[in-house]
Amino acid sequence: MNNLILSSLAPGVEGWPWWAFVIIIVVALVLVMFIPWKKIYNRKNRRYHQEIKYKEKFVEDKEKENTKRLSKEDVVKSKKKKTDNFFDAAFGNYNTNGSKQAIKVETLIYVQEEPDSCELCRPFENTVISLEPYSKNVITMNEAIGKGYHHAGCKHVDLDFINTVTILPKNQWTDEEKQQRFELRLKQYKLENEIRSIKYELDNCADKLKREELKKKLKKYETKIEKFCEENNLERNEKHELPFISDLEKFN
Ligand SMILES: [Zn+2]
């Protein structure tokens, strides 16, 4: 009787053993009970509504821009905005990072100007740099470093830049003035280097006569650097004149 009903419902199963039906029923029960159908449905539904919302916003923005197209400038601007919207719609929609980034405030700094900066750092003085890996509006720190900023021995200081709060200072010195100061700094480094090597020689010399000679030479160079710093309004750094300092310390 049972087999008759089954064969009428699904022809070909009348020869199956009874336990095959039990397995099918158990699998069906597991599918119904343990798979979170509701969650899957909600997620799909949410994504669908989100897509609709983005599309509506995109169309709305596009309409707004169309009404704005009055002058040539407006056309250029709206074209630019249109592409932004396209990226928002394309990436913001499918990439969860997009929405996170929109909420996050960009960490920005600006570079304090130095009177004797080198030509690598000069372009970045009193300009805003983003510390984020990507930025739409300003250069990122990685890009600035790639262009030479913060090289070994760089003295520049980065200060916090808060949008709409921080007032960006104007450069006080011209590039020529900075170049002049920079060259003086190089001359000072050269003198410091000279003093370091005399001191090194003195440390490794046993000959009495030669030592006297070296001491005189050292005195001469020390007077020279003192005078040079005084004349050019530079600060003498005696730590730089020690014979056993690292390359990094020579410039800091
Ligand atoms: Zn620098």
Q: Is residue 32 part of a domain?
A: no
- Tell how far the Cα of 154 is from the centroid of ligand 1, in angstroms: 4
168: in domain: no
121 Cα: distance to centroid of ligand 1 (angstroms): 5
How far, in Å, from the CA of 119 to the mean position of ligand 1? 9
Flag whether 91 is in a domain: yes
**Distance in Å, CA 134 to ligand 1 centroid:** 22
Residues with CB under 5 A from ligand 1 (ion): 121, 154, 156
Q: How far is the CA of 85 from the centre of ligand 1 (A)?
A: 38
pLDDT at 74 over 60: no
Q: How many domains does the chain have?
A: 3
The answer to whether residue 78 sits within a structural domain is yes
User: Do the domain assignments include residue 45?
Assistant: yes
Taking only the tens place, the pLDDT of each residue in 148-182 is 999 988 989 999 999 889 999 999 999 999 999 99
Block residue for tokens 């539904």: 45
Domain ends where: 120, 138, 161? 161
For ligand 1, the distance from its centroid to the CA atom of residue 90, given in whole angstroms, is: 40
User: So what's the pLDDT on residue 94?
Assistant: 43
75-95 confidence digits (pLDDT tens): 444 444 444 444 444 444 444
Whether 98 maps to a domain, the answer reads: yes
Is residue 167 within 8 A of residue 179, CB to CB? The reply is no
Beta-strand runs (E) in the chain: 108-111, 128-130, 139-140, 158-161
Ramachandran area for residue 246 (φ above 0: left; ψ -120 to 50: alpha; else beta): beta
Residue with tokens 């020690």: 242
CA 186 vs CA 87, 211, 251: distances in Å: 49, 29, 10
pLDDT for residue 31: 84
**Domain extent at residue 210:** 175-251
Note whether 187 and 230 are same-domain residues. yes
Residue range 7-31: mean pLDDT, rounded: 79
Asked if 125 and 68 sit in the same domain, the reply is: no
| Averaged pLDDT for residues 12-33 | 84
pLDDT digits (tens, 9 = 90+) for 198-222: 999 999 999 999 999 999 999 999 9
Give domain status of residue 19, yes or no.
no
Whether residue 140 is contained in a domain is answered as: yes
pLDDT of residue 142: 96
What average pLDDT is seen over the chain? 81
Tokens of 137: 């509006």
99 shares a domain with 114: no
The larger pLDDT score, comparing residue 46 to residue 93, is at 46
Taking the centre of ligand 1 as the mean of its atom positions, its distance from the CA of residue 8, in whole angstroms, is 88
Q: Which two three-digit tokens encode residue 14?
A: 């009348």
**Do residues 180 and 247 both lie within one domain?**
yes
What confidence score (pLDDT) does residue 218 get?
Answer: 96
What's the CA-to-centroid distance between 148 and ligand 1, angstroms?
A: 8
